Amino acid sequence: MGISFADGIDTLSRKKIEGWVWKIPGGKALPEGLIFNVRDIDHPLLNVSRVMSVLDMTVRLTQLAEMVVPCDVKIDRTGRVTEKFPGALSRIAQ
């Protein structure tokens, strides 16, 4: 279990990463102290930009959680994309 990031839902489904999909809205900056390490464009890693305590990291992850928007899309363990309600996928394609 954990947090995975990708450039899109198709990438997550190909990797068969199970769970709900959330989106970081365009124009939003990551909380101070967090950065994306883009070694693989399809699967960026979330890293800290400086040494910080576990408490500081927890605060930053909480800030990130408050910023993301649910897409009402879930990926099952086989990589199948499901929707909580019809039209959810078209809503996030924007």
Please provide residue 8's backbone torsions phi and psi, each rounded to the nearest 5 degrees: 180, 170
- Give the per-residue pLDDT at 31: 95
Torsion of CA 82, 86, 90, 93, to 10 degrees: -40
Domain locations in the chain as residue ranges: 9-92
Of residues 7, 2, 6, 22, the one with CA closest to residue 67: 22
Mean pLDDT of all residues belonging to the chain: 85
pTM of the model: 0.75
Instruction: Give the span between the Cα atoms of 39 and 34, in whole angstroms.
Output: 16
Q: Is the pLDDT of residue 59 over 90?
A: yes
Please give the C-alpha separations between residue 18 and each of 26, 73, 78, in angstroms, as whole numbers. Answer: 24, 11, 8
